[in-house]
Structure 1
């Protein structure tokens, strides 16, 4: 009964770990990579302020080749996280220096986002020119370079003796060497997006005749717009500039209520430039002139001859003739009894 019965074999050390396994925690099984691997520093893998999503996103970006697209939509389509979480993780990487994004205008006028990934923020990087991307967002990895070795003891430099002057050579004035122009910046220059319009505004319509009464009515109409809409409060200079256009409306027999309705309907919110809006509406909504009285007459049919009526000089009877005079009965002396 003194023989001990063993039901389970003792735990043996793991052959992969090369020694005795730890009593708790993680045990690493390390296999050396020979292809398709990325070197990540512990300063990123063990970062204390970055979130786990930001650390994983930084590792994924550093594993991508140059020119790969890393936009928020591309990453959201690749991973199950939402666009909001991926955008927050990218902002964390920008705040800690692992990522830098900037808006750049290309030679053809398009604006793209340039993304630069740093695997070791704060390290010195070589001043190399980054090629311009052709489309979309691009990522460029800038690896750090090792600092140059400390210089050792060197002998004092010996200034070389100047060469003997050539015969019959003009004397050379020794002075300070001309300054070399600074090297151009290899990085692209960020340009603001164009906001000003290129096409000039259309000119205001001008009246055909100077009518002081219409000019006073147009000026009063523009000054009275602020009572209808407080946003259309104009200065005296704006009223003086816009008055000829309103005079053209009144000259074409447009009713003042029609002019007010055309200038005050469907105003944008907020209205930043009321004078520019009124100038555009006065020019673009100008009604055509009404047709004249000669245009209202019905056109005559081609080939139809109408002989007018004339009154006889003797009997006052009506007859058709091209010229006034006597009727046929008075000319022949024959009259029928009434």
Structure 2
């Protein structure tokens, strides 16, 4: 099976009341761990690349590694997606490189500028059968080049969504309902809460239209504890409760992004490996252990949050 775009994936997910996992990739081991989990559970997947990850790994390397993953797993639908594309030029470059889906993130721009540039991305992408995601509202937090202070975050305004989707022609929409980028999502004592009422209102305005949640890592405490046990200094981090994410996935949410959980799983495992094997220096050993941890985490997300097991 060749790389696919997200159109058919999202239609099946919307109708079936589940979501597709969009997992950020940076290197071979992360890709292999994700794909092993999806092959084991027969789950479709979106492998997504931030602009900084694209710079780190180099575009040609990333595309070829993803193509290798597709060749190794021909029965698994895989989309290659640009996460938080900041400009038309970045989206165009990824489309030209072979990405099958792109996100244009104009959420920090004035509304009319966001509309105009998103429309421009859509016009180019659809010529090549590439699907386009855009964003309304601003999520707080930090992830790579995306940095939004808490007091600058904004919930998505349901009154804008129909106008935005109609005028831009985007294929999916990321909305802000209480998720947050990064591991440190909430202040001490603050309870996480998703504004499912906003999600409900958006889905009423856009019946059958796929919605996306960014900043949806749960920051599993066992990995935070493992990092600290083996020499780290992470304060307690509170993510989005998985039961809330599963409820969103059963509604209009068709794509849930996971990045911080992958980073934590990998970092915690590597720290543990070196603490237990201080004289080892073979990257295949500690990166192999990290790859296995990534696989376990993704299997957990598929079963507990996404509900897409057996949907490949």
- TM-score exceeds 0.5: no
**More helix per residue:** 2
Q: Relative contact order, CA 8 A, sep 6+: which one is greater?
A: 2
**More strand per residue:** 2
TM-score normalised by structure 2 residue count: 0.20
TM-score normalised by structure 1 residue count: 0.19
